[in-house]
Structure 1
Amino acid sequence: MRTKILQHLSLVLAALLFNACCHDDDPVKPASTRTVLVYIAGDNNLSDYINYNLEQMIEGAREGGLNQCDFLIYTDRATTIPALYQLKADETGRIDTVRIRDYAEHNSATPEVLRQVVEEAFTAFPSDHYGLVLWSHATAWLPNAGRDLTRSFGTDGDETIEIDELADALAAYHFDYILFDACYMGAVEVAYELRERAAQIIASPTEVMGSGFPYTTITPMLCETNFDGTSVAQAFYDFYDAQSGYARSATVSVVDTKSLEQLAAACREVLAGKSEAEIFAVDPDALQPLEFLKSSGRHYLFDLGDYIQALATDEQYTNFRAALNQAIPYRATTPYAFFAAPYEAIKIERFSGLSVYLPGEGLATLNEWYKRLAWYQAVYL
């Protein structure tokens, strides 16, 4: 109780501080059409990419405008203290970053810090429309306890945020969109866990190149009141499809979360009646892999459509595809997806837009952890 009271007081004081610092000089500021928060958990080996993406955001805002949007950027870097910035025009109309809040050193890859930053930002800059960009390392739903290379979202030292913790940390808001500028978050388990947190989810089922999303192009899109996730995803795909060699690597999908229950029902029709032996009998070598997370080469995440087709009747698969097309209004992939470790590419021959975990023998820890997820409970039980 004492902790909750202190947390509440800190949010009130932070809101007063933000208002004093940011709004007294702008008494006739137009009403915000949207508040966007880019949450950069970059106290890791991605820290060098932060300035590159910040420069892109500034350039994109200067070229395309902010549409009366409050565009906030939280950064936690390897070498400086965490801070909150706003993209804002000066007296000449030139847009740049304005530092509006410093934080004491903390760990951005914890649900407590994420919740604090989100609540402070949106309390200080309220709007009827919210957008969230989550920028960091990530590995879908896979738990930090599963293996050294696995974590859900964010990396700061040894800390990560598990997917159920992520959903809980964001429970106070419903976003028009959540965009993951992070690897592997285009997983059906992730989307289903966050189905009540956002109307649309934009994510990649494979690795995202270090340069991330093309913010010069998408920053104005993120500010639009009538947000169109397909345009953002298309811009991401087009940017990487125009590259050459291993840099030509992108998979991306847009999830319409209101259609996920229908997708879960179609998958449940296939999976709920299957025994563990039948599930374990699915040959992973016959499925489209979508990750490399283990040095031995054993894959965990596969194409959802491939997995369902391996177990479904023709009628069940037809029903599944119809539900999938409703839930995934846009998906795109380059011919190959590149993976930094073990520095090779996988040919993408079949792509439904989402990955899924394949339970199997020898994966007892992950199999048990998987059972706590909302997706497992919705489609297997």
Structure 2
Amino acid sequence: MKKLLQLLFGTLLFVLASCKTDVPAPYPLPQAHADKTLFVYMPWSAARNSNFGSLYQAFQRNISDMKTAIEADGGLYRNRLIIFISTSSSSAVMMEITYKNGVCHEDTLERYAAANLPELTTAGGIANVLGTMKSKAPANQYAMIIGCHGTGWLFSNGGRRVSTRYFGGSEPYTQTNIPTLAEAISRAGMHMQFIMFDDCYMSNIEVAYELRNVTSHLIGCASEVMAYGMPYHKMWRYLAQLSPDYQRIVNEFHNFYSTYSTPCGNIGITDCAVADEMAGVMKQINAAYTFNLADTLQVQKLDGYRNTIFYDMGDYVDKLCGGTALYTAFQSTLSRLVPYKSTTPSIYTNLGETPSRYISVTRFSGITISDPTVSSYESAFLNKTHTQWWQVTH
């Protein structure tokens, strides 16, 4: 009888212990492998010797919003949060956000100065930062959030922005090309659950195709996003889940920007596993149909450039081959490529190149394409042919 009671008591303790591991909050910081490490990467967003165009204060607000969400949720669960933020073009800090007794704390892991700061516009430099992050916070899976300015797939050439967000700063010295990012993640031996660009113009097929082998999902805005960036205090819990709730992420973004002081914003989430299939469909379409450049004005514009660079992909292909069997195949593939998306009725541009800062959106597929552009800005009409996307679809 005594042995039976001991057995029952031991079994009860086992069950209670087993149940406890399934309780969602709170948990002490994982000492070995976390379930997921979220890595927030915020490189310098201005020029080498200038603060002009810097988003540093906006980044600080983003971090504050993340902390607010973590505290509201009662902790990080079995996740870890590492942030790399540049404080100038030659200095940065890597820190971990931890949670204890209802409050978030910033624990410095690494300080960088000119002598030890990796070159963040090179694959080796970014891979170095990613490797440090992995060693500090090993996990079963990783996700990456990139905060900066952004100009989609365009190659670094010194474009400037002030109150909207490109991938880097306001001169080539602080700008990173997308193929460089892809190579860096590959060199670090990583595959991201998602890469979220908190930057302008990053939800485009050229970027998604370039990153298809290093991330499962791409989250980004097809147009400009306000300097405020992503509403992390609303979205965080859905990003941090082991399996992110992509629909809720889109919903929270839409709800926030629908009532923002400038009620403009769009977002798309791309399943990069479908990128190769889409490339195959577009290769067939491009072999069978030629776009009439006179029709470019009829395609939904999703940027603020005088000569459009970023067109809505769905609307472009509709104008190219709508009503055909290939278009039906394209629509089917597109629905799986970008299953989550949202836009406000208008988008905002701060470029000052269009008659109005507001552009009406009547067609939105969540992702852009630059195939029909004839823009000379940063030689887009020529450089588009140097992207992986162009080369496999033409």
**Range class of TM-score, shorter chain:** 0.7 to 0.9
Which residue pairs with 2:229 in the alignment? 212
Which residue pairs with 1:310 in the alignment? 319
Which residue pairs with 1:136 in the alignment? 148
2:62 paired with 1:53: yes
Match runs of 1:2-41 below 5 Å: 29=31, 31-41=33-43
Which residue pairs with 2:310 in the alignment? 301
Q: Is the 8 A contact 2:222 2:266 kept in 1?
A: yes
Matched residues in 1 for 2:307 and 2:30: separation? 59
How far did 1:352 drift? 0.9
Which residue pairs with 1:10 in the alignment? none
Change beyond 3 A, Cα 1:313–1:280: closer
Which residue pairs with 2:363 in the alignment? 350
AA partner of residue 38 (structure 2): V
Give the stretch that moved more between structures: 229-238 or 195-204: 229-238
2:116 paired with 1:101: no
Query: Which is greater in Rg?
Result: 2
Which residue pairs with 1:248 in the alignment? 263
Q: Deviations over 1:246-287 (max 9, x none)?
A: x1111111111111222222222211344xxx4463522111
Q: Deviations over 1:79-100 (max 9, x none)?
A: 883001111124x352222111
Q: Under a length normalisation based on structure 2, what TM-score does the superposition of the two structures give? A: 0.81
Structure 2 residue aligned with 1:287, among 289, 292, 299?
299
2:164 paired with 1:162: no
Matched residues in 1 for 2:309 and 2:30: separation? 54
Give the stretch that moved more between structures: 180-189 or 307-316: 307-316
Matched residues in 1 for 2:68 and 2:373: separation? 47
- Aligned to 2:168, what secondary structure does the other structure show? strand
Q: Work out the number of aligned pairs and report it.
A: 345
Which residue pairs with 2:83 in the alignment? 73
Matched residues in 1 for 2:61 and 2:30: separation? 33
Match runs of 1:124-273 below 5 Å: 124-145=136-157, 148-149=159-160, 153-155=167-169, 157-159=171-173, 160-171=175-186, 172-244=189-261, 247-273=262-288
Matched residues in 1 for 2:170 and 2:159: separation? 14
How far did 1:30 drift? 6.5
Matched residues in 1 for 2:30 and 2:89: separation? 37
How far did 1:55 drift? 0.9
2:384 paired with 1:370: yes
How far did 1:161 drift? 1.0
Which residue pairs with 2:11 in the alignment? none
Which residue pairs with 2:13 in the alignment? none
How far did 1:125 drift? 1.2
Percent of paired sites with the same residue: 24
- Unaligned 5+ segments in structure 1 are 1-25
How far did 1:370 drift? 1.8
- Aligned to 2:43, what secondary structure does the other structure show? strand
Q: Is the 8 A contact 1:279 1:360 kept in 2?
A: no
- Aligned to 1:95, what secondary structure does the other structure show? strand
Q: Is the 8 A contact 2:375 2:381 kept in 1?
A: no
Q: Is the 8 A contact 2:218 2:272 kept in 1?
A: yes
- Aligned to 2:218, what secondary structure does the other structure show? strand
How far did 1:362 drift? 6.7
Q: Is the 8 A contact 2:224 2:303 kept in 1?
A: yes
Matched residues in 2 for 1:79 and 1:164: separation? 21
How far did 1:78 drift? 3.5
Matched residues in 1 for 2:373 and 2:238: separation? 41
AA partner of residue 281 (structure 1): L
How far did 1:111 drift? 3.5
AA partner of residue 172 (structure 2): D
Matched residues in 1 for 2:347 and 2:283: separation? 29
How far did 1:231 drift? 2.1
Matched residues in 2 for 1:52 and 1:152: separation? 18
AA partner of residue 215 (structure 1): Y
Which residue pairs with 1:16 in the alignment? none
Give the stretch that moved more between structures: 152-161 or 118-127: 152-161
Change beyond 3 A, Cα 1:361–1:234: closer
- Aligned to 1:299, what secondary structure does the other structure show? coil
- Please, what is the CA RMSD of the aligned residues? 2.4
Give the stretch that moved more between structures: 155-164 or 106-115: 106-115
Which residue pairs with 1:339 in the alignment? 349
Which residue pairs with 1:21 in the alignment? none
Matched residues in 2 for 1:158 and 1:61: separation? 35
Matched residues in 1 for 2:309 and 2:334: separation? 21
AA partner of residue 262 (structure 1): E
Change beyond 3 A, Cα 1:80–1:196: closer
- Unaligned 5+ segments in structure 2 are 1-27, 47-53
Q: Is the 8 A contact 2:41 2:147 kept in 1?
A: yes
Q: Deviations over 1:323-374 (max 9, x none)?
A: 1001111111000001112170100010011111034557494333222212
AA partner of residue 392 (structure 2): A
